Structure 1
Amino acid sequence: MSPRLATFIVFLVNGGVFGTWAARVPALAEQVGAEVGSLGLALLGASVGLAVTAPLAARICAVHGSRGVLIASSLLSPLLLPVLALSQSSLQLGLTLVALGASIAAMDVSMNIAAVVVVRDLRRPLMPQFHAGFSFGGLIGSLGSAAAAQAHWTPMRHFLLAALVGALVVAVIAKKVPGGVGERHREEVTERTSVLKSPVLWLLASIALCSAIAEGAAADWSALFMVRERGMGDAAGAYAYAGFSIAMALARWFGEPIQRKLGPHRLLATGGGLAAAGLALAVLVPFPVAGYLGFGLAGLGLAYSFPVVMDLASETGKRADGSGGERELGLVTTIAYTGFLAGPPIVGGLAHLSSLVLSLGFVALVAALIIPATLLARRAARRPASV
């Protein structure tokens, strides 16, 4: 097994864990007797764990290397699923989700560092393909959850099987997972300038933020939009997000030749424009087919934002020996998580004050902001070279 394949499988496992627990939220809510309000607070626990842990994990990876963090978090994440199934109250569910979110954040940061190592070793733009692994993993996890729910499996029975499979897969690939820097860079890492002072990095983080807001909005509101605004049934409405997810996964899988042809900045700007156009199509043309097509186009457009931004962010912290970029990845990941956290409530609040049409129209404008942010990031990246 090559390091490239091992890294791809880690992305697959991460997506699988996320898709597994997220798709069983209705069963968990019933188990703990949570109402909508208390369930929302409990689910906030995962986002809190993600946002708090990402920069800490990046710092640990920078000083001690990413391989140990990746293996530990990759084993812990699936093993926390049965603990989640033990929850008997909204508070217990929320606290366990904090731990699961923290583990997923550590895994997310360290696996992106591993992906950067592979990309630099092979000198190929493979980051979108690695993130396709996460998308396919989420799809596998959600399909497994659907099958478990249809078979009337309890969350505990389902999560025990998922934890066993996930832990065994990680144990098999652990020796081939690549790692980042180690102790030899401790002094250099400590003395480096703060990542918060990098204009390029903040612009890249803003692209990730806009993309995360749009992606989170599509995930949480596309089905409801098709049902309430386009008169579709619940099952038919769910196909809107399915189309979004499949389009995103396929676009990422075939992303390498596209990135080679367009280059990272042009790919980001084109994707932002496509996502904005797709969301605008969905909300402005009052026919169901336009909704499905629009959300599919949004999935295509947003597919490259996060992986390409991660690739570019790692380059801003690259050292002379070819290592580096850990803290930069941590900052971008943290800001992106705030987008996933803030996006759905913003859309819900705007929809409450107006309508889903206007709120998703606002999301289209947010996606369009990827274009100027990308142009500014490219200009800022070139500026030191012209001095």
Structure 2
Amino acid sequence: MPSPRLAVFVVFVFNGAVFGSWAARVPALATQVGAQEGTLGLALLGASVGLALTAPFAARVCAALGARRVVLASGVASALVLPLLALASTPLHLGLVLFLLGSSIAALDVSMNIAAVGVLRELDRPLMPQFHAGFSFGGLIGSIGAAVAAAASWKPLPHFLVAAAVGLLVLLLVHRRVPGESGERDREVAVGPQPTVLRRPVLWLLAGIAFCSAIAEGASADWSALFLVRERGMGDAAAAAAYAVFSITMAVARLSGEPVQRRWGPYRLLIGGAVVASIGLATAVVVPTPASGYLGFALAGLGLAFAFPVVMDLAGEAGRRADGTGGERELGLVTTVAYTGFLAGPPIVGGLAHLSSLTVSLGVVAGVCALMVPAVWFAARSRARELAATPPESVPARP
């Protein structure tokens, strides 16, 4: 049987593989439903709506039922919805299926991050970047599978059926070792009521950082292949490899996350990553060569590697009680805002591309990455003020 740490890592891989499988086939799906950039952007908005309606409730469901049950249910739903994308015949149908996929991904994202926090506290180590490396490796696996399927002239349906079947098998093998077997209601009654997360500026700032990072990551995933096809004249198979390059650099960087975070600290790590990601996306859109596209998306993957996991770590720490528990609602808030950006970003990029071009819209995303720098600075100051105002006996221990 796998350890809880390995089981949660595999769930992250599974989630990334589902996303990478369909994100890299966006050009084929666009052709299938006859959508241009603007219409495709509206279809992608369906996933954003599904996520926005589901994510706010996911943390509460995890508290009531346990993260393990939510991981299993949402993971199975994600795999079953994936092949339905290949049956869409119009942009409207595609948007409706993406609504279902966004809902299942929202529940899976929240529950797997809550399960990861349980492992972090049990082992007393900052391992969140490594768990999110699993998502990147999953995205790599999914995008490579998509590139192979495109090169073999596979239609999306057989490709998605194979991906769903393999993913379901892996999920069923590991889900019993995911932490969070039962709900948390008894524990919450024992420790008493907690202050609302909506009144804490640091959580909104962390959510804003993750939101900007998610826009950039979602844009790179959903539009990198189409950008290289339509703006750089590459074939579908070669263009699909751009997301693989993005995922490789992100995954490798995240694997080194624990020592890097211990050495540089979370806030300096976030600022440095924002600068690198902004430079990378700017390189991809400013230098008009296929090689610069690969290089730019590689730098974007490197720069964005630590943003989401480090923010999740900081949110969990901000919600940690003196007895070492807590953080579910804080993670729920930040994840909700973050993944709204993750899935709302692509349709925004599509709308801008419709009005101008993909080059201009991805250039705007580079500017969004730069906005993370002042947000990190304000978040660090806000958290410092919170700690200064907290009685020493109420501050939880931290390794």
**TM-score between the two structures when normalised by the length of structure 2:** 0.85
The aligned residue for residue 377 of structure 1 is: 379
TM superposition shift of 1:76: 2.4
Mapping 1:1-387, distance limit 5 Å: 1-25=2-26, 28=29, 33-36=33-36, 39-87=40-88, 90-179=91-180, 181-187=183-189, 191-223=193-225, 233-234=234-235, 240-284=242-286, 289-351=291-353, 358-387=360-389
Between stretches 49-58 and 343-352, larger displacement belongs to: 343-352
In 1, Cα distance between the equivalents of 2:151 and 2:381? 52
Q: How many residues align?
A: 385
Q: Measured at CA, do residues 173 and 366 of structure 1 come closer, stay the same or move farther in structure 2, by a change above 3 Å?
A: same
Deviation larger for 87-96 or 258-267: 87-96
CA 309–44 in structure 1, closer or farther in 2 if over 3 Å, else same: same
8 Å Cα contact 1:65-1:183 kept in structure 2: no
Which residue type is aligned with residue 312 of structure 2? M
Moved over 6 A (4+): none
| Whole-angstrom distance in 2 between the partners of 1:327 and 1:193 | 10
Measure, in 2, the Cα distance between the counterparts of 1:42 and 1:359: 17
Q: State the shift of 1:258 in Å.
A: 1.0
Cα distance in 2 for partners of 1:331, 1:209 equals 11
Letter in 1 for 2:272: T
Q: Tell me how far 1:127 sits from its aligned partner.
A: 0.9
1:268-306 per-position Cα deviation (integer Å, ceiling 9, x unaligned): 111112222333444555666554433322211111101
Which is further off, 15-24 or 245-254? Answer: 15-24
- Assess, with a 3 A threshold, how the Cα gap between structure 1 residues 336 and 127 changes in structure 2: closer, same or farther: same
Percent identical: 65
Relative to structure 1, the CA distance from residue 382 to residue 340 in structure 2 (aligned partners, 3 Å threshold; closer, same or farther) is: same
In structure 2, what is the Cα distance between the partners aligned to 1:50 and 1:239? 27
Say whether the 8 Å CA contact 1:63–1:186 is kept in structure 2.
Answer: no
Q: 1:90: how far off? A: 4.6
Runs (5+) with no aligned partner, structure 1: none
Give the whole-Å Cα distance in 2 for the aligned partners of 1:227 and 1:254.
33
The 1:154/1:301 distance shift into structure 2, 3 A limit, reads closer
Q: Give the C-alpha shift of residue 143 in structure 1.
A: 2.2
- 2:20 and 2:221 in contact (8 A); partners too: no
**Does the 8 Å CA contact 1:218/1:241 hold for their aligned counterparts?**
yes
CA distance in 2 between counterparts of 1:52 and 1:109 reads 13
Shift of 1:97: 2.5
Unmatched runs of 5 consecutive residues or more in structure 2:
390-399
Between 39-48 and 219-228, report the one with greater CA deviation: 219-228
